[in-house]
Amino acid sequence: MQFKSLGDKRQVVSLSEAVFKGLADDGSLFMPEEIPALSDEFFQKLPGLSLPEIAFSVLKPFVSEDLSEDELREMVESTFSFPIPLKPVNDRIHVLELFHGPTQAFKDVGARFLSRLMSKLHPVTDKKMVVLTATSGDTGGAVAHGFYKVPGIDVVVLYPDGKISPYQQNQMTSLGHNIHAIAVDGAFDDCQRLVKQAFNDRELRGEVAVTSANSINLGRLLPQMVYYFQGVARFMEQNGQQPPVVCVPSGNFGNITAAVIAHRMGLPVKRFVAATNVNDVVPRFLKSGNYDPKDTIVTLANAMDVGDPSNWPRLFELYNQDTEQLKREVAATVVNDGEIKETIKEVFSKNSYLLDPHSATGYLGLSRQLKGEETGFFVSTAHPVKFLETIDAVLPAEAEKIREEFGDAFRVKGTHETMQNSYSKLKEYLLKM
């Protein structure tokens, strides 16, 4: 399988190039050159397959020119080593819990698979390989854990000193080994600027192979397809043969893009719902036909606070950039902060199920969109422990229980390395590693 640039479609690269470059030379995203259909035999066996077995079959066509079957098997076994359960919330709605990974966020799977890909595919050189990334708190933990102890790769995560929660800080600083989390004396934007400067520094790149692990990387996107094979298989097991409506709480639209690719490979899904918070560029586009990105608005579901979703061109391309075609399969709906709080409260009191703000967006999006006899599932992208301030505000007794359960995670531990907000300091650090 080769991968094409969405800009200049003649630019075709190998998996390895797509993974290490992240973006094509023309600045566009990479997409698989084609989407293979899985066999009838696979779908017959699907209900009995384990997660690593599903992942192996689904990912194989994309990586078979670059990895041996044994290598792929080892990668999916170590990536998909935690459960992804489907649970009923009420008689029409199920939830697929994606938060049982090491940082309680769905990004764990993508980060883990990418790290293993990079470790397997990186060319043998004497240059040190460093994944360099800036975080405002949430994704840094998934990347740090994803690359933890992965041979041949060091990770440097920059985060704004004092501006992330102790819980988030612990997820990055308590690891050690090849994970270097550094508190920068500045804001998130400063961290991002330092990272950009490093990527543009030819002298540095002559010495150190710096690479990024951000969410547009195909190595993070592709393994997310596995969620939907798992979700649909479990759903049909529990509910008979009607394919589900699937709702994905969306920010950069990577997760829902993976879901649609899974459907193209043959996975039965009735239709999709993309649920956003008030950063609603896509829902507005589907209404007006006008793609009009806006500045980001801060919401309770802040991992989805995205004004101009980076994966949107991929999703649109899957429908040949035809809005009508897309709307036949994908609906979009907007959930505001008041509705998020209301939903968390209501679903807990009616169904004893505790949602985090992102998952609440997914739940409400699905329940609004189900018509007639339709049933379906939404994906839960984070454990409530990660967004405890909101749980505190609506269900304080539940927040307290979580605090007791996770106790230790809220006290700062681990070493806390700091750095001045200065590029020369970062460069010195990277060269000395």
Ligand X SMILES: *Cc1c(COP(=O)(O)O)cnc(C)c1O
Judged by the rule CB under 6 A, the positions of this chain that interact with ligand X are 105, 107, 138, 249-255, 303-304, 358, 381-382
CB 34 within 8 A of CB 58: no
| Residue among 269 and 382 whose Cβ is closer to ligand X | 382
Closest CA to 32 of 75, 65, 76, 77: 65
Question: Which residue is associated with the tokens 């301030």?
Answer: 389
| Residue among 32 and 249 whose Cβ is closer to ligand X | 249
Helix (H, G, I), strand (E, B) or coil at 379: strand
- Residue 11 gets the label, from left (phi > 0), alpha (psi -120 to 50) or beta, of beta
| Residue among 32 and 141 whose Cβ is closer to ligand X | 141
- Shortest Å distance, C-beta 222 to ligand X: 13
- Shortest Å distance, C-beta 307 to ligand X: 13
| Residue among 169 and 381 whose Cβ is closer to ligand X | 381
- Shortest Å distance, C-beta 253 to ligand X: 5
- Shortest Å distance, C-beta 332 to ligand X: 12
What is the pairing mode between strands 208-211 and 153-160?
unpaired
| Residue among 62 and 253 whose Cβ is closer to ligand X | 253
- Shortest Å distance, C-beta 186 to ligand X: 23
Paired tokens of 385: 């422990």
| Residue among 265 and 274 whose Cβ is closer to ligand X | 274
- Shortest Å distance, C-beta 305 to ligand X: 10
DSSP at 266: T
| Residue among 129 and 260 whose Cβ is closer to ligand X | 260
- Shortest Å distance, C-beta 98 to ligand X: 9
| Residue among 67 and 172 whose Cβ is closer to ligand X | 172
Residues constituting the chain: 433
- Shortest Å distance, C-beta 250 to ligand X: 4
Using CA atoms, how far residue 328 sits from 34, 56, 273, 276, 322, in Å, is 22, 30, 11, 18, 10
10 Å CB burial of residue 34 (0-12, 13-18, 19+) is: exposed
| Residue among 153 and 332 whose Cβ is closer to ligand X | 332
Q: In angstroms, rounded to a whole number, what is the distance separating the alpha carbons of residues 61 and 41?
A: 15
DSSP at 310: T
| Residue among 46 and 382 whose Cβ is closer to ligand X | 382
Question: What residues does 159 pair with on adjacent strands?
Answer: 183
CB 157 within 8 A of CB 184: no
- Shortest Å distance, C-beta 409 to ligand X: 17
Question: Which residue is associated with the tokens 């390395």?
Answer: 417
Residue 293 one-letter amino acid: P
Paired tokens of 257: 């893009």
Angle, nearest 10°, between helix axes 166-173 and 138-147?
20
- The answer for residues whose C-beta is within 8 angstroms of residue 400's C-beta and 6 or more apart is none
CB 380 within 8 A of CB 96: yes
CB 372 within 8 A of CB 285: no
- Shortest Å distance, C-beta 304 to ligand X: 5
- Shortest Å distance, C-beta 248 to ligand X: 7
Closest CA to 427 of 136, 158, 25: 158
CB 156 within 8 A of CB 180: yes
| Residue among 112 and 358 whose Cβ is closer to ligand X | 358
Count of CA atoms in the C-beta half-sphere (13 A) of 313? 12
